[in-house]
Amino acid sequence: MSAKGSVLKRVRQSNKANARNKNYKSLVKTAIKKVLTEEKKEEATKKASDAFSKIDKVASKGIIHKRKAANQKSKISKHLSNLK
């Protein structure tokens, strides 16, 4: 890799973006896991609305693809429909 100023700046920018994206993805994964481990329908529904909003926010920023967001929301909805 070249040690030119523009290259070094680009490396700094990409490291910063990677850290930010990793944080957002972690938030989404945690929210999904909380919903899928919940056994009570009422609690799961509350957590699902929170997870949906986080998924939509991350997808709108372009951190995850819109189809991946749709698949994750579908997975949550399927879990909710199977609860008693």
DSSP character for 4? -
* DSSP code per residue over 55-84: HHHHHHTTSS-HHHHHHHHHHHHHHHHH--
Q: What is the pLDDT of residue 5?
A: 87
List, in order of start, the domains of the chain with CATH numbers.
5-82 (1.20.58.110)
In tens digits, the chain (84 residues) has pLDDT values of: 678 889 999 999 999 999 999 999 999 999 999 999 999 999 999 999 999 999 999 999 999 999 999 999 999 999 999 998
Q: What is the pLDDT of residue 4?
A: 87
CA dist 24 and 58 (Å) reads 7
- Does this model's pTM top 0.75? My answer is yes
